[in-house]
Amino acid sequence: MSLKDQVTEDMKTAMRAKDSERLGTIRLLLAACKQKEVDERVVLDDAMVVAIVDKLIKQRKDSIEAFTKADRKDMADKEASEIVVLQAYLPARLSADEVLAEVKAIVAELGATGPGDMGKVMGAAKAKLAGKAEMGQVSAAVKAALAT
C-alpha cells in the first residue's frame, strides 16, 4: 500500500472514530498532496508524499515559534499536535552520527574540498537523504565536513 493510500485509509478511520483533530490534519495533508498533483500533473509516489509531509512539519514548527513569541500557547499547542500526527507518515530518521557518516561518504565520493563545493555536496546529499533526515541537519553536517 502506498503512503498516499495509507493516509486516505487513516482519514476514513479518523472519520469513523470522530477524531476531529486528527481528521483535520490528515485532510490538510491530503489537500497538499492533491494540490501538488494538480499543479504539476503528476501522480505522487511515496518520496514526494514524504517531501510534502516534511514541508508541512517545517511550516508547523515555524508557526509554533511565531505563536510562542506572540504568547499564544493555545495555537502553539494545536500546531504541535498536528506535528505529532504528520510525523507518523515519515520513515525512520537517521541519527546525527549516521547523517554525518553519509555526508562524509558523499564528500569523499565527489572529491569536495572546501566551502565552495557546498552546493554540489548538498545537491547529492538531498537526493540521497531526502526523507531520511531533516535537511537542516544535513546542511550542518555538510558545513562541518567541508570545514575540516
User: Which domains are present in the chain?
Assistant: 3-87 (1.10.1510.10), 96-147 (1.10.10.410)
Amino acid at 1: M
Can you give the pLDDT at residue 113?
79
Can you give the pLDDT at residue 108?
85
Of the listed ranges 5-9, 19-23, 106-110, 144-148, the one predicted with least confidence: 144-148
Place of cell 541537519: 137
Can you give the pLDDT at residue 111?
82
Can you give the pLDDT at residue 85?
95
Phi-psi sector, 85: left (phi>0), alpha (psi -120 to 50), beta: alpha
pLDDT tens, residue by residue, 112-126: 777 878 888 888 888
Burial class (CB in 10 A: 0-12, 13-18, 19+), 4: buried
Length of the chain: 148
Residue 103 banded pLDDT, cuts 50, 70, 90 = confident
